[in-house]
Homo-oligomer: A and B are copies of this chain.
C-alpha cells in the first residue's frame, strides 16, 4: 500500500530510476573500473542523473554494494534436486561459485567480506543444506562440510583473481636472471600456477573435499539404515 506501481509511469519523461537499474549500472561500473571506481557521482553520471538521486532508492552507498552483492550470489547456481546426485550438485555449486568469481574479479571481494543476512539468503542456505541432509549429514557435520567447502571456494576465488590480475607497475618477474636464482623450488612451482592451470588446481582441491564427503556420506547413510 505504501508503494505505488512504479512500473508503467514513464510515458513521455525519461525512464525513471529503479533499484534494479541502479544496481545494474553499479555492477557494470565495478566490473569495468574496479571497486574503487564506483562512486555515487560516477554512478549517477552513468545513469544520467545527479548523484543524490540515488539516495531516493538506497539509504547509502553500502546498500548499493549490498545490491551488487546480491546480484553476484544470484549468479551461483545449485542444480535442482532431481537433476543429479547430491554430491554432483555440490560439485557444480562449487564450480559455479568459482566461475562467478572469475566473471567479476573486481566485485568478488564483496562476497566473502561483506556480511549479509537477508531472508532471501537464508533461503539459499536452506537449499544448500537440504543437499547436505541428503548425504545423511546431521547439523554438526553439515556445518563443517558447508564451511570447508565455502572456505575453499572463496579462498580460491580470491587467490585466482589475484593471480590473474597483472598489475602494470609490478616487476613482471623477469625469468632471465631469476632462473638460476636462490629460489629453485619457487621456480619449479610457478609454471603450475599460471592462469591456464588454475582450473586444474581448483579441481584438485575440490576433489579432496568431495572424496571426504563421499566417505562420510556412505558411512552416515549406512549407519542410518
Q: What is the interface of chain A, defined by CB distance below 8 A to chain B?
A: 109, 112-115, 117, 122-123, 125-126, 129-130, 132-133, 138-140, 142-144, 146-148, 150-156, 158-159, 162, 165, 167, 170-171, 173, 182-186, 188-189, 191-193, 197, 200-201, 204-205, 208-209, 211-212
Question: Do B139 and A189 have beta carbons less than 8 Å apart?
Answer: yes
Set B112, B183, B209: member contacting A159, Cβ < 8 A: B112
A200 to B148, CA, bound (A): 11
Contact A129:B185 (CB < 8 A) given known A153-B155, A155-B151: yes
Nearest-Cβ distance from residue A78 to partner chain B, whole angstroms: 13
Set B117, B138, B152: member contacting A151, Cβ < 8 A: B152
Contact A208:B205 (CB < 8 A) given known A122-B183, A152-B148: no
Contact A205:B117 (CB < 8 A) given known A162-B112, A183-B125: no
Interfacial chain B residues near A191, Cβ < 8 Å: 139
Nearest-Cβ distance from residue A40 to partner chain B, whole angstroms: 16
Question: Do A148 and B115 have beta carbons less than 8 Å apart?
Answer: no
Nearest-Cβ distance from residue A122 to partner chain B, whole angstroms: 5
Among all A-B residue pairs, the 6 with the closest Cβ atoms: A155-B155, A151-B155, A143-B192, A148-B205, A129-B185, A139-B188
Which residue of B has the minimal Cβ distance to A206?
B148
Nearest-Cβ distance from residue A161 to partner chain B, whole angstroms: 8
A189 to B179, CA, bound (A): 50
